[in-house]
Every structure is written in structure tokens, then in C-alpha cells.
Amino acid sequence: MCIRDRNYFNRPYFENGAIKKISEVLKTQEIKNPLICTDPGLSSIGMTDRIRNLISNEFSSSFYEETPANPTEKAVDEALELYKANDCDGVIGFGGGSSIDLAKAVALMANHKGNLIDYSVNEGGYEKITETMPMIAIPTTSGTGSEVSVGSLITMNDGRKLIFASPHLIPNAAICDPELTIGLPPVLTAGSGMDALTHCIEAILSPINDPPAEAVGIDGIEKIIKEESLIKACKDGQDKEARWNMMMASTEGAMAFSKGLGAVHSMSHALGANQELRLHHGTLNAVILPSVLRFNKDHVGNKYSRIARAMGKNESIDLANEIEKLNEEIGIPSNLAEMGVTEDMIPKLVAHAITDPSNLTTPRPVSYTHLTLPTKA
């Protein structure tokens, strides 16, 4: 297979305290009237006020503060209406992956005609996406890496969680301030961190030939596991070195998955579309990952040995068992049943998962029967 075209970096501002540069970044991107997409949780703890106070008075800022845990088409429409009503000329995604994904969709639809669904990968929309309105990403969690990725995930009105992907969806700039994650609750630190780890692992296991992306993924695994940054951040949310490492690993995970993901994500996307359960994407990845690792074991050459070395473990370890041990240590549920998933939900979830584009780069082709087994609680 050929090496895919890569477009790893936008304009990154990665350092403790980087959030203070927000006005400078707005000027650089020539945004005068930004719409800031964030969520109720950040607003409730004063983070929205903090960013409002940091933005110079020369800018006219509008705020959409209702981003749901898994961003929806309805939320995109609401935010887009606010964008247009206030004559905004750019978007800021401030929060976790949900807020950044929502901001990407708003930046897309602010200057593209038709319906959002027309631009999804699932509906053949990849080539339809051209330059969007300027967008800045400011992550407050370490997991999705959406600040440097080509993708956005939106749950549509018909219940499907669809992928939108294009180099044009990479934010123009990313303000990565690890200090914004200090104090993040252990449960969110754990779930987000496992999202980053899953990105690194699935990217490495993808059959696409892209050694630079794999090298980036290996470094991410070293930071998360070998240096014990995830465990340290879960135990002590004030550990600045661990927080820095986790945000860098999150960014690296997204850079790595430019070569694709796999069956873990196809299933977590399906589960995440359930608006009643409202399950955390990274936590889902953590629970599903061991089963998929067992499924792929004999189809990835020596890659499990490389991953084990990056983790600081013996090459002969059972990788799936190691992930289960890590999940237990950081408080991740041991199965989907603990997260509210019941047996009667499985057929519909699998039907959704089998159509997910993430399956295009899984190392072992999957069928309906294959996906049913690891999805069971």
C-alpha cells in the first residue's frame, strides 16, 4: 500500500499558559467576531468566563454553551443560527472533543450549501468539503486530539453517528494548554486518556503503510503507559508533568490516526449515538479495546511486540490482558453492561457499526458476526 498524503500540523501553541495568547491567535487568524462553542459543564465552573475575560475588547465574541456530550445535528443547527445572527467570521471550539467537533461542523456549514449530512464520509461527502471558515481549537481534555485531526463526529437527527473528514477540517490553529486539564476529575481523565491510547494503538495496527504516523503513535504510547502519565494524572490531577504528557500524547494520537482507526471506533461510534445512554466515547473505547485486540492478534505481524515495548513491557505479554489491568486500575468499567448496554441493543448497534468507515482500516476484515462477539457485555 502507498503512503497516504499527510497534513499533520496546523498552527500549534503548545505550552502551559498558552490560553493567554488567545487574542494574539485571533489576530493571526484575522477573526474579529468569533463564535465560541463550549458546553454547560465548563460554563458552570467558570471556564467560559475565564476565556471571555482573556479575549481583548477589540473582538466581539458570541457564545454557544449548549454542546451535548456527543454533538448532534440539532446543536450544529442552533450554533450555526447564532453564528449567522451575530455576523461571526470564525469559530472557536473550547472544551473536549465534543465542543471542538461541533465547532468544526459550524465552520463547515457557515460557508457550504446544502445539508450537513451531504458532507459526511458515510454519504460520500469527503470530496465535497472545501475551505471552511477559520477555526481555532482549545482542548480542555486530553484524549480526542480533535485540535489537530481531520475529523468530526456528529450524531444526526436520524440517530446515526457520522464521520466528517477532510484536511479542511483541521483547525487553523490549536491552543494546547495542559494547565486547562488540571483538576479534571479522575473519571474524565481516565476515559479521555484511554481515548488517546486507543488512537495510538489502532493507528499503529492499521494496515496503511505510514511509518512516520506509527512512530508518532509509539511515542504517544510511551508517554501514556511507559512513563505512567495516565495513572499519575488519575491519581493526582495537579501533576503538571503528567498533564503535559497526556495532552501531548492526545495530540500525537490524532496525528497518528491520519492512517486510520479500526473496529474499536466503529463500535464506540455506534454506542455513542445512543442519546438515552449518553456514553463517554473514550470510556467506550477502553472497554471495547481488549476484545478487538484479541480478535486482531494473528493479523498484525509483529506490531503487538512493538506496542508492548513502547509500553515498557515484555514483548510476550498478552496485550489485551494488560489493557484490562490498566482499565481496572484507573476505574474504567469492566464491560458494557456496567455502562447500561443490554443484550437487546446489540443487533441495532452492530448494524450501525458495520457501516462505519473506521472498518476500512482495521487489520482484519469484519462482518456482522465478528462485530457481535466483542460488542457483547
* C-beta separation of 251 from 190 below 8 A: no
286-311, pLDDT tens digit by residue? 999 999 999 999 999 999 999 999 99
**pLDDT reported for residue 2:** 35
DSSP code, position 3: P
Task: Identify the helix (H) or strand (E) that includes residue 35.
Answer: strand 34-37
Q: Where residue 203 falls among pLDDT bands split at 50, 70, 90?
A: very high
Is the pTM value of this prediction over 0.75? Answer: yes
* C-beta separation of 233 from 191 below 8 A: no
Domain range 185-375, CATH architecture: Up-down Bundle (1.20)
**pLDDT reported for residue 10:** 74
Nearest to 164 by CA among 82, 90, 94, 76: 76
Give me 336's grid cell: 458494557
86-117, pLDDT tens digit by residue? 999 999 999 999 999 999 999 999 999 999 99
Query: What CATH code is assigned to 11-180?
Result: 3.40.50.1970
Do 185-375 and 11-180 have the same topology in CATH? Answer: no
* C-beta separation of 271 from 349 below 8 A: yes
* C-beta separation of 222 from 214 below 8 A: no
Q: Where residue 269 falls among pLDDT bands split at 50, 70, 90?
A: very high
374 pLDDT above the threshold of 80? no
43-76, pLDDT tens digit by residue? 999 999 999 999 999 999 999 999 998 899 999 9
Domain segments of the chain: what residues? 11-180, 185-375
CA dist 315 and 375 (Å) reads: 27
* C-beta separation of 291 from 285 below 8 A: no
